[in-house]
Structure 1
């Protein structure tokens, strides 16, 4: 039996605001959408990998989601980390930086953290376990 990654989900309150953020900040585009009487689900993709980010918007929800202690996050690789950092700084969405590790985090409109990793390292673990 084999498994492969399919998608990761974030619940969001304002779907259009979140879609704008992910498109502007990370270039993620809508791949598909499903709407019911209770919710809207939108899958986003990067046009290069098969990985998808699912945004779920529960209709009528007003209160913020409890994100716990933010000990989880989504990570994306940037092929030009300096250009990406300038763009995200201009957007005002950088919430944490670790220059020693060469990484930083964005905060989306609902408070989720997204790690930006330089392409040269491929991943945090590859960059910091050698």
Structure 2
């Protein structure tokens, strides 16, 4: 059976992205492969073996066009951490969207908010409750 190990996004400013993912989600550099024209930076934390790969194309003159095919990344936090993290991201100037409780039929399936990283990638932050209690 296949095991998901990482997802990759292209970022413009390495330092800005590393700071965001560290402060927002505690993701640290697990490995970095540095080449002449690009670098691959793998971010991880102790919560999971899944990594986020940042690709930095050196000398890229313009921002990336995310197009209309990109969806989002998702992370989960303990339910009690959702609101404090939302507050922290707000204080850091990242303008997270409002916290939403998705409860079709009256049962809470998910409690979450979205925040954009410095390159505009959307990240869904889910409380470990409802469908996501064990993720």
Range class of TM-score, shorter chain? 0.7 to 0.9
Structure 2 gap ranges (5+): 103-110
**Alpha-carbon separation, structure 2, partners of 1:75 and 1:40:** 23
Contact 1:94–1:105 (Cα < 8 Å) also in 2: no
Q: Distance in 1 between matches of 2:97 and 2:68?
A: 14
- How many pairs does the alignment contain? 124
- Equivalences for residues 1-130 of structure 1 within 5 A: 2-69=1-68, 71-79=70-78, 80-101=81-102, 102-121=111-130, 123=132
SS at match of 2:56: strand
Which 10-residue stretch deviates more, 48-57 or 97-106?
97-106
CA contact (8 A) 1:94 1:104 kept: no
User: So what's the TM-score if we normalise by structure 2?
Assistant: 0.84
Change in 2 beyond 3 A, CA 1:70/1:110:
farther
What is the alpha-carbon distance in structure 2 between the residues aligned to residue 30 and residue 122 of structure 1? 30
Q: CA RMSD in A?
A: 1.9
